[in-house]
Each structure stands twice: as structure tokens, then as C-alpha cells.
Chains A and B, each alone.
Chain A
């Protein structure tokens, strides 16, 4: 069993839908990251959080430390949100352990 599990692996939505991507992890962590990988391959950091909730535009990330679970929500989804979303956890130092990613496709 991977230390970081994401669900679903693939998600297809219609433009405007509310989207949730889940991440569960099995180790104690100091921080959790949500990353976005564009179709061309580049990776950008969306959020780093260790408790509670963060919001940036239409993106919301939450984490429940006790349940070892995080969610990434996208409100009013748009085709440009189509990407792979990756959850990564930091257990010690600054080394990250990555989930396999969730491929999101938003259709117009």
C-alpha cells in the first residue's frame, strides 16, 4: 500500500461542476502539498498546508490531521483546470512522498 493514496485516479466533469479530489496518507506529516501538472508536463505548487483550510481563487484545500486526509476542491470548474493534480506529503525534513496523481478533464 502506497503511503499516499489519491482518489479518483481519473475524473471527467462538465464545465461549471464542483470537483473534489481526495488524498489519504498513512504516516505522520509536517505538511501536505497539492500540485498541478499541466498537459505539457510542468508542475506548479498550488497549496502547502499543515492544518485547516486554504483558499486561492476557485481552489480550496482542506486537511484533517487526525483522519490523515486532505481534499482539493475546485468550484465552477473550467476546461483550463484540466490537468493532473498531485498530493504530496512531507514526513520529515523537506523530502516529499507523492501520490500517483488524479487526471482531471473538464469538458466545455
Chain B
């Protein structure tokens, strides 16, 4: 089983719909991240969480919200999806010591029509 699991892997939906992307991890890491990847822009940080009670905005948090339901779970929501949120979304984890690289999920390809 993958250490970092994202669901769904692919989603096509319409403008205005509420979408939730889920991430779960078996690494036992405290820190979890949500990124989006767009062609030519690299990965950009949306939100991150250093533990269950800690939520922080990243570079591009507008239009998104997150929930850290447990140490192992970190979900990303688009309250009212718009076409420019079409992207590849990645969840990642790292340990609190910062001595290990981040571990990434396989990504969720989201298309907003």
C-alpha cells in the first residue's frame, strides 16, 4: 500500500460544485501539505498543517479550505469550483524534524468545466 494515498485520482466536475480531495498517510508524519501543479509553474503550496490543531495558508490559499481530521488525514476542499482551479493536486507529508524528504501522493487530476 502507498504511504500517502489520495482520493480520488481523477475528477471532472462543473463550475460551482463543491469538491473534496482526501489524503491519508501511514508514515506517522506530523506535517502534511497540499500543492497544486500547473504547466510551466511548478508546484505551489496551498495549505499546510504541522499537527492536528495547526492549519496554515500557503502561497495560493484563496478559493480553498482544508481540514486536518486526524494526524493521518488532511482533506482539501474547493467550496465553489472554478475552471482556473483545473490542475494536478498533490498531498505530501514530512516528519517534524525536517530531516527527511517530503513523501508525495500520486496526485489527483481535477478538471473543472
The answer to whether the Cβ of A27 comes within 8 Å of any Cβ in the partner chain is no
Interface size on B, residues (CB 8 A): 23
Question: From A47, which residue of chain B is reached at the shortest CB distance?
Answer: B101
Q: CB distance B106 to A33 under 8 Å?
A: no
Q: Dominant SS at the A interface? A: strand
Q: CB distance A42 to B104 under 8 Å?
A: yes
Q: CB distance A98 to B42 under 8 Å?
A: yes
A101 CA to B88 CA, complexed, in Å: 15
Q: CB distance A30 to B98 under 8 Å?
A: yes
A74 CA to B98 CA, complexed, in Å: 27
A88 CA to B45 CA, complexed, in Å: 12
The answer to whether the Cβ of B31 comes within 8 Å of any Cβ in the partner chain is yes
Q: CB distance A94 to B98 under 8 Å?
A: yes
Given contacts A98-B43, A100-B40, A41 and B100 within 8 Å (CB-CB) = no
**What band does the interface of chain A fall in when counting residues whose beta carbon is under 8 Å from B?**
20 to 34
- What per-residue 1/0 map shows which CB atoms of B75-94 lie under 8 Å from chain A? 00000000000001010001
Across-interface contacts of A90 in B (CB, < 8 A): 98
Q: How far is the CB of A40 from chain B (nearest CB, A)?
A: 8
Residues in A86-106 with C-beta less than 8 Å from chain B: 86, 88, 90, 93-96, 98-101
A65 CA to B27 CA, complexed, in Å: 30
The answer to whether the Cβ of B109 comes within 8 Å of any Cβ in the partner chain is yes
Q: CB distance A45 to B101 under 8 Å?
A: yes
The answer to whether the Cβ of A44 comes within 8 Å of any Cβ in the partner chain is yes
A43 CA to B36 CA, complexed, in Å: 13
What are the 4 A-B residue pairs with the smallest beta carbon separation, nearest first?
A45-B101, A43-B104, A98-B42, A41-B107
B-contacting residues of A (Cβ < 8 Å)?
Answer: 2, 4, 30-31, 33, 35, 40-45, 48, 86, 88, 90, 93-96, 98-101
